[in-house]
Amino acid sequence: MRIEKHPRRAGSAYGGRPACDNLKVTKGQTVCAYHELMSEMSGTVLLAAPRGYCAGVERAVDAVERALAKHGTPVYVRKQIVHNLHVVRDLESKGAVFVDEETQVPEGAVVVLSAHGVAPSVYDNANDRGLEVIDATCPLVTKVHVEARRFAAHGRTIVLIGHEGHEEVEGTSGQAPERTILVQSPEQARSIEINDPDNLSYLTQTTLSVDETNEIVRILQERFPSIEGPPRDDICYATQNRQDAVKVIAPKSDVVLVIGSQNSSNSNRLAELSQELGTPAFLVDDESDVDPSWLEGAGTVGLTSGASAPDWLVHRMLAWLAERGFADVEEVTLTEERVRFSLPAGVREIPLAIDR
Ligand code: SF4
């Protein structure tokens, strides 16, 4: 009798079937449903495009690699440069040292600031320690910081729509902490009390759900008709495009896999969106997180990846799916992204000699 155990499941479910870990007797053998499923599955993969790396992530990862090429190891990085486990591990293996705060970096050392942006106090601390700072803040986050300072300079109260504890929200709030009020949900937008409602502005985190943010803004505009927003949406092009692509593939899929780390805001929004559209979705770091029972009975698997997930993870996932019968791949392209950002000061002149 052959008994095989189910592998541990590491991915998080957004409402799917529970993990398959029951042994069962089939044709006189005790087998795990995991292995039985693998031999039964077949179907198509709908691959979303755009997906994966955005211009801000590409630039931030480049900045760390060029800093390593210029300065050698170690190069310190404040927080995860982007919210992806594989990217962080890869950079660690090349000599990057990740720290939580700039105050942990040895005096005079090189530090790269993450794509999510920082409060002004971080630059002050870095200056005090004589650190050589390479600022990889995404230019689209810097744009929000500039808007926050402009609103604050005009004496306005800022409603910041975003998620508490996210590094980007900490950085944006830090531009005008005494004037910023965080709103995380439509419920909070309905109940928030404002002392000077005629002198009110709003800004948003760049990686939110487009639909939920629109709802929050609508509620704020109803309650505070003179509220002023940014000249252009703060939710970035990459977040918008990846959500638009999920809106197309999710209704045609039986299950959607989103490649991204658990702390990646934009990746979480993709999985939630699919779920809201009625298609079970799972956020996974890579193919080893996928429980084959999630694919049971599926004819079409939707696949996308968050803005901080490198495309080689998608290729690995496609190979894994092909081995299990999902060999037909249809790419659904909504739009071509041509956004590129120039590299941060301090590494612009450095050629990238390291293979990624
Ligand atoms: Fe910039 Fe948007 Fe990418 Fe964030 S998700 S790094 S804001 S382009």
Of the candidate CATH numbers 3.40.50.11270, 3.40.50.300, 3.20.20.220, 3.30.450.150, the domain formed by 56-137 belongs to 3.40.50.11270
C-alpha torsion 82→84→86→90, nearest 10: 10
Domain ranges of the chain: 12-52+238-333, 56-137, 140-235
Architecture of domain 12-52+238-333: 3-Layer(aba) Sandwich (3.40)
Paired tokens of 62: 């480049």
Query: Does residue 266 have its Cβ closer than 6 Å to ligand 1?
Result: yes
Which residues partner with 26 through β-bridges? Answer: 29
**Calpha distance 16→296 (Å, rounded):** 11
Q: How many helices (H) and strands (E) does the chain have?
A: 11, 15
Three-state SS at 122: helix
Paired tokens of 241: 């495009």
Residue keyed to tokens 């039985």: 36
DSSP state, residue 135: E
pTM to 2 decimal places: 0.88
Task: Decide if 168 is catalytic.
Answer: yes
Query: Does residue 19 have its Cβ closer than 6 Å to ligand 1?
Result: no
Q: Compute the distance from residue 171 Cα to the ligand 1 centre, in Å.
A: 14
DSSP state, residue 330: E
Among 207, 209, 241, 264, which residue has the most ligand 1 atoms within 8 Å of its CB, making it the best to mutate? 207
Architecture of domain 140-235: 3-Layer(aba) Sandwich (3.40)
pLDDT score for 151: 97
Contact between 294 and 262 under an 8 Å Cβ cutoff? The reply is: no
Q: Compute the distance from residue 296 Cα to the ligand 1 centre, in Å.
A: 34
Q: What is the mean pLDDT of each run of 10 residues along the chain (356 residues)?
A: 35 45 54 56 93 98 97 98 98 98 98 98 98 98 98 98 97 98 98 96 97 97 97 93 98 98 97 98 98 96 98 98 96 97 92 55
The values of phi and psi at residue 135, to 5°, are -95, 105
Query: Does residue 307 have its Cβ closer than 6 Å to ligand 1?
Result: yes
Among 138, 172, 242, 266, which residue has the most ligand 1 atoms within 8 Å of its CB, making it the best to mutate? 138
Same fold, 56-137 and 140-235: no
Contact between 81 and 92 under an 8 Å Cβ cutoff? The reply is: no
**Calpha distance 248→33 (Å, rounded):** 31
* Active-site annotation holder among 168, 170, 272, 287: 168
Paired tokens of 214: 């629109």
